[in-house]
Each structure stands twice: as structure tokens, then as C-alpha cells.
């Protein structure tokens, strides 16, 4: 038994779980409430908020419960035990999508290098791709930023060393003017080592995150700094999440996925919880005051045709498609990267076009949770 899911208890909630964020796709609206099926495990007859649950052929109990907008307390009681959880109902996260990008630093180096040549930050060809996604499909873009760019073993070309303290503030007004759809926050100190915060304590995450945030404020303005991100490799300790929260980050995105016997880009959470979160858009860790968002499609892992098929499958799964989260990685844009993808732009635009044509509008996580 983990502290997040209590399936080992004699009476316990199976669905929803503590911190679950439910939307209109999780039930039916009526009389100002969302009516949803609550599923429980119990060794005896059980009630939820006083409503008797019926036992099904699978041995689980079910009760139809009405949730009000905002946070709701659900209490399960039987002769053999009691369980209590808090869940949130919101209709604000249905019909929106976000595009985020990991591992960003090279484009900033290029803008800085060409500060006397470029008339706009969007003269940078990489950032121009995201401007096109916004202009064509209303995408809102979140860039997860490194502090420094040392030599990288997976690039054949040589680039001069760069860190954010070197970044020009010449385009600060333009960053501010576009902050309604283009934002940034901390990702890591640099690309290597892999999983730098897997065992890191509070101080390391806090200091490296704060350094990136301070520089973003300096060269791009407070409005460009978001309150959401994906930490490099989605691997942190609880203390690392606390550090991010203390620096104003309210939401973290991750794959929330199990591959074989291991969790992938799922922060520090155990397999039983991650297995549940694979099927959800959002979850809130009440103990850490942090929201988590499920990344639905990593664009650099799939061809444009595969992206279309994956998103179409997702679209038909109502428990997963209220909010669509798609993601890219910067390095695949560059011809000297060993895994260069010449159709980088097409992959980005395919994901955004699909969402737009299905009626989704661009939104940051903070705007829906």
C-alpha cells in the first residue's frame, strides 16, 4: 500500500482517488452538479456520503454521487472501515490544449548572438515555428529552459559556451508583448547529466531553479515567467517538488507512464499511482500543493502521420481528452543533432492543427487548473 492509493485497506476508494481532478467527461451534469460513478473496494456493505453503494459482479461497489464545482469531500463508511478523499470538479479544463517544449537553450544563444542583426525574437528560425503554430492554430507555447549550454556529445557542430546571464535584454518588450501565448520556466541547469534531480535535495533544485527564473525575469519580464514547467526527465524527490512549489511553480507536466516495470517521467511517484494517472488529465498532490498534468503525445517520437493517429485515438477516449498536452524537444530542430528531424515543423503544426480542428483552444495549465 502506498500513501496515495489505499487499495490494500478493507474499505477504500478505487475511483476517483484523493486529489483527482474531474471534468464534464467524468459523468453527467444535472442540477448544477456533476453526477459521477464512485467505485469502492470493501469487505462489507458501504455508503458514500450516506448513499448506499451497490455491489457489482466484479466484487466492487458503486454509487452515483453529485459533485459541486470546486473541492468535494467523499467519505466511504462500512462496518469494516472508513476512507475519506478530496476530489475537485471543474469544467474549465475541457476543450483546451497546450504545446510545451523541453531542453531549450540553443535558440536563446542564437538570439543573443544575433542581437544586432535580428529585428525580432521571431527572426530566430526555431522560435518562428512556434509563432506559426500560434498564428495558425491559436497554440499557447511553454518553453522549459536550461541555464547553460556547454558542449553536447550528441551535436556534431561546435557552439560557443552560453548561459542565461549572457542573454541580451534588448527584446524584453517583445517578450512581454507576446507573454499571453509564449512563456518560459526552469527545466534544469543543463542537458547533462541525465536525471539530475532524481536524488537531489531541496537546496539543489531551489538554487538552480531560482537562477533560471531570475534570468528570465531580467531579459524577458515577469509576465513571461510562468508558474508551470516540466523538470528535466520528470524525475525529482519530494523535496525537489517542494522547492519548485516554493518558487511559485504550481503545476508540473510529465508522461505519467509505465514502461515494463518502471515509471517514466513520473517524478517520484510509485507505480500504482502512476498506473492510475496514465488515464487522467490532471491530478493534485494535496500534501505538496502541486498539480500534475499528463503529457499525451511527445511529437519528436512520432511521424506526422503517427501523431494524427495517436491524437485521434486520444480524442475518442473521453477520460483522457478533456485537455490535450503535446510536447516537443528543441534539439531535434537542428541539422547537426545526431537525431535531427527535418520534418520538425510539420510535427509541431500537425499536433496543433489537429487540436484546433477538433475545437480545442490554446491554454496554459494555470488557465485551466
DSSP designation for 53: P
Identify the band that residue 3 occupies on the pLDDT scale cut at 50, 70 and 90: low
Burial of residue 352 (number of CB atoms within 10 Å: 0-12, 13-18, 19+): buried
DSSP designation for 309: H
Please indicate, yes or no, whether residues 80 and 124 belong to a single structural domain of this protein.
no
2 pLDDT higher than 70? no
- 3-state helix, strand and coil shares in percent for the chain, rounded to the nearest 5: 30, 30, 40
Beta strands 70-78; 46-48: pairing state? antiparallel
pLDDT in tens, 159-175: 999 999 999 999 999 99
Please indicate, yes or no, whether residues 67 and 105 belong to a single structural domain of this protein.
no
List all residues 6 or more positions away from 314 whose beta carbon is below 8 Å from its beta carbon.
296, 297, 320, 321, 324
In this structure, what are the phi and psi dihedrals at residue 80, rounded to the nearest 5 degrees? -105, 0
76 pLDDT higher than 80? yes
In a domain, 1, yes or no: no
Asked if omega into 134 is within 30° of 0 (cis), the reply is no
Question: Is 201:237 a contact under the CB 8 Å cutoff?
Answer: yes
Please indicate, yes or no, whether residues 187 and 298 belong to a single structural domain of this protein.
yes
Please indicate, yes or no, whether residues 71 and 199 belong to a single structural domain of this protein.
no
Counting residues of the chain whose pLDDT is more than 70, the rounded percentage is 99
Q: Which residues, listed in sequence order, are joined to residue 328 by a DSSP beta bridge?
A: 101
> Domain with 74 in it: what CATH number?
2.60.40
Overall average pLDDT of the 296-312 stretch: 97
Question: Is 104:229 a contact under the CB 8 Å cutoff?
Answer: no
In a domain, 5, yes or no: no
Please indicate, yes or no, whether residues 164 and 51 belong to a single structural domain of this protein.
no
Burial 179-215 (b: 16+ CB within 10 A, else e): bebbbbbbbbbbbeeeebbeebebebbbebbebbbeb
pLDDT value of residue 176: 98
DSSP states of 84-97: EEEEEE-STTTTEE
In a domain, 258, yes or no: yes
Question: Is 113:70 a contact under the CB 8 Å cutoff?
Answer: no
Question: Is 336:70 a contact under the CB 8 Å cutoff?
Answer: no
Cell of 90: 471543474
Element (DSSP H or E) covering residue 104: strand 96-104
- Its domain, for residue 53, covers 11-89
pLDDT value of residue 7: 74
For the chain, give the mean pLDDT. 96
Please indicate, yes or no, whether residues 70 and 104 belong to a single structural domain of this protein.
no
List all residues 6 or more positions away from 225 whose beta carbon is below 8 Å from its beta carbon.
183, 184, 185, 213, 216, 217
Whether the model clears a pTM of 0.85, i.e. scores above it, the answer is: yes
In a domain, 71, yes or no: yes
- Of 57, 89, 121, which residue is a domain's last? 89
In a domain, 183, yes or no: yes
Quick one: which of 268, 271, 241 has its CA closest to 257?
A: 271
Other CB atoms within a 10 A radius of the CB of residue 242 amount to 19
Please indicate, yes or no, whether residues 79 and 109 belong to a single structural domain of this protein.
no
Provide the domain count of the chain. 2
- Of 35, 65, 89, which residue is a domain's last? 89
In a domain, 6, yes or no: no
> Domain with 216 in it: what CATH number?
3.20.20.370
pLDDT value of residue 81: 87
Identify the band that residue 83 occupies on the pLDDT scale cut at 50, 70 and 90: very high
In a domain, 232, yes or no: yes
pLDDT in tens, 12-56: 999 999 999 999 999 999 998 999 999 999 999 999 999 999 999
Instruction: Report the residue count for the chain.
Output: 369
Question: Is 133:99 a contact under the CB 8 Å cutoff?
Answer: yes
Please indicate, yes or no, whether residues 65 and 126 belong to a single structural domain of this protein.
no
Q: What is the 3-state secondary structure (H, E, C) of 173-225?
A: HHHHHCCCCEEEEEEECCCCCCCCCCCCCHHHHHHHHHHHHHHHHHHHCHHHE
- Of 39, 62, 89, which residue is a domain's last? 89
Please indicate, yes or no, whether residues 110 and 140 belong to a single structural domain of this protein.
yes
DSSP designation for 155: B
Please indicate, yes or no, whether residues 166 and 62 belong to a single structural domain of this protein.
no
pLDDT value of residue 369: 87
CA 197/CA 203 separation, integer angstroms? 11
Please indicate, yes or no, whether residues 336 and 276 belong to a single structural domain of this protein.
yes
CA 196/CA 160 separation, integer angstroms? 23
pLDDT value of residue 78: 93
CA 311/CA 278 separation, integer angstroms? 15
In a domain, 4, yes or no: no
Please indicate, yes or no, whether residues 292 and 346 belong to a single structural domain of this protein.
yes
Q: Which residues, listed in sequence order, are joined to residue 155 by a DSSP beta bridge?
A: 337
Amino acid at each position: 500500500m502506498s500513501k496515495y492509493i489505499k487499495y490494500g485497506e478493507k474499505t477504500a476508494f478505487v475511483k476517483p482517488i484523493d486529489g483527482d481532478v474531474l471534468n464534464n467527461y467524468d459523468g453527467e451534469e444535472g442540477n448544477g452538479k456533476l453526477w459521477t460513478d464512485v467505485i469502492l473496494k470493501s469487505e462489507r456493505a458501504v455508503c458514500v456520503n450516506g448513499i448506499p453503494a451497490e455491489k457489482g459482479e466484479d466484487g466492487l461497489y458503486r454509487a452515483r454521487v453529485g459533485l459541486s464545482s470546486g473541492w468535494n469531500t467523499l467519505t466511504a463508511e462500512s462496518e469494516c472501515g472508513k476512507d475519506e478523499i478530496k476530489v475537485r470538479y471543474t469544467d474549465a479544463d475541457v476543450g483546451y490544449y497546450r504545446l510545451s517544449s523541453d531542453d531549450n537553450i540553443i535558440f536563446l544563444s542564437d538570439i543573443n548572438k544575433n542581437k544586432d542583426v535580428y529585428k525580432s525574437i521571431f527572426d530566430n528560425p526555431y522560435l518562428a515555428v512556434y509563432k506559426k503554430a500560434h498564428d495558425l492554430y491559436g497554440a499557447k507555447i511553454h518553453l522549459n529552459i536550461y541555464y547553460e549550454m556547454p558542449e553536447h556529445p550528441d551535436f556534431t557542430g561546435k557552439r560557443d559556451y552560453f548561459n542565461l546571464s549572457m542573454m541580451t535584454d534588448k527584446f524584453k518588450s517583445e517578450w512581454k508583448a507576446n507573454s499571453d501565448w509564449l512563456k518560459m520556466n526552469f527545466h534544469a541547469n543543463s542537458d547533462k547529466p541525465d536525471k539530475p534531480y532524481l536524488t537531489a535535495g531541496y537546496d539543489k533544485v531551489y538554487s538552480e531553479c531560482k537562477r533560471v527564473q531570475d534570468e528570465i525575469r531580467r531579459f524577458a519580464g515577469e509576465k513571461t515567467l510562468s508558474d508551470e514547467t516540466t523538470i528535466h526527465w520528470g524525475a525529482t524527490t519530494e523535496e525537489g517538488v517542494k522547492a519548485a512549489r516554493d518558487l511559485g511553480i504550481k503545476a508540473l507536466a510529465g508522461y505519467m507512464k509505465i514502461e515494463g516495470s518502471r515509471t517514466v517521467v513520473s517524478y517520484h511517484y510509485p507505480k500504482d499511482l502512476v498506473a492510475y494517472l496514465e488515464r487522467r488529465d490532471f491530478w493534485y498532490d494535496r500534501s505538496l500543493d502541486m498539480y500534475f498534468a499528463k503529457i499525451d503525445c511527445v511529437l519528436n517520437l512520432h511521424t506526422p502521420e503517427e501523431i494524427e493517429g495517436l491524437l485521434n485515438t486520444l480524442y475518442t477516449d473521453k477520460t483522457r481528452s478533456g485537455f490535450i498536452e503535446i510536447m516537443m524537444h528543441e534539439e531535434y530542430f537542428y541539422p547537426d543533432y545526431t537525431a535531427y528531424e527535418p520534418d520538425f515543423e510539420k510535427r509541431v503544426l500537425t499536433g496543433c492543427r489537429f487540436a484546433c480542428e477538433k475545437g480545442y483552444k490554446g491554454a496554459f495549465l494555470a488557465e485551466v487548473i
